A and B are shown apart, each in its own frame.
Chain A
Amino acid sequence: MAADPIHQFEITKLFTIGHIGGQEIAFTNSSAYMFLSVAVISLLMLGTGRRLVPGRLQSVAELSYEFVASTIRSTAGSEGMKFFPLVFSLFMFICISNVIGIIPYTFTVSSHLIVTAALALLVFFIVLIYGFYKNGLKFFKLFVPSGVPIYILPLVVLIEVISFFLKPVSHSVRLFANMLAGHIALKVFASFVGMLGAIGFIGWIGAILPLGLTVALTALEILVAFLQAYVFTILTCIYLNDAIHPGH
């Protein structure tokens, strides 16, 4: 067992696809787990049947649809349902890849900032483009609060602009940091069990506490895996709502 808690996040090259501009484009373990997540989602959504009385897996598929649809309807209204494919894909991808990541010896896709940043920037640019499309140049009024004296307006506008561009940062860092910290904590506590067990009988007794904590942390991580996917989804809905219904 590798005792290094960071080792689990290592990117390894599986094979090379090609070269673009002297830069190697490799198929990594991260890409493999992304494909695995998509495969699991496809199996769940397509391969579980369409019976009138749903079986267990069909219920899971239907529940996940109901859950995301009700989240969109309650935060972005029924007009938000035109973004349902995007939001549902994001939710399922993050949720399934996080849950796969909890299984020992697997890789967690969302524990890399570049992956979560790409997802958050996708949402950010969709909201930005849709906001411009809906509101035109009035969209810039976002940065100018009314009733502010002219001599502090430049400062306030600067702060407002920074606060607007913080959205994708906090959106991506939250998911990334939660997955990274959770998996490191899990690994550290699990390695305590191995270290204490190597001492002897007293160590075996002492190892009960970190073992119990590892079990508890695993349960917590399952909650976090789902909750972070939910947080990402609900924030996507809130940002979309800002673009769909300005002034609310």
Chain B
Amino acid sequence: MSEIRDSRKIGTDSSGNEQDKAQAKASAMATGLRLSSELVAGVLVGAALGWGFDRLLSTSPWGLIVFLLLGFTAGVMNVMRTAGVMAKQSERL
């Protein structure tokens, strides 16, 4: 939560000159572009992992089902981290 508040503060503070505004706009678009691809990457990697698991151990279709769901979960977590709703992994160090 504190991260959201911080980013809001940054958003209101940068009402200075034109270049700051342009950079804030670009980084807002950058965040928007990131959100969708994080989720897609999660599902794709989950599917690929599951497919490879099944091929190696011939456990079809269970590997695909399990890893697709795990990949989806990881993707949703990354989306939440990008949006600043959830603590980042690096905060645990």
Contact = CB atoms under 8 A, between A and B. Distances in A.
Interface of A: 70-71, 135, 138-139, 141-146, 158-160, 162-167, 169-170, 173-174, 177-178, 227-228, 230-231, 234-235, 242-243, 245-248
Interface of B is mostly: helix
B70 to A, nearest CB: 6
B26 to A, nearest CB: 6
Interface of A is mostly: helix
Contacts, number: 94
A174 B33 contact: yes
Interface string B11-39: 00000000000010011011001100110
Contacts of B70: 158-159, 162
A230 B26 contact: yes
A58 to B, nearest CB: 18
A159 B71 CA distance: 7
Given A170-B37, A231-B34, A234-B27, A242 B90 contact: yes
Contact of A227 (B30, B75, B92): B30
A159 B37 contact: no
Contacts of A227: 26, 29-30, 33
Nearest to A232: B30
B90 A173 contact: no
A163 B92 contact: no
Given A159-B73, A170-B34, A227-B29, 8 more contacts: A71-B23, A138-B93, A158-B70, A160-B77, A162-B45, A166-B75, A174-B37, A243-B90
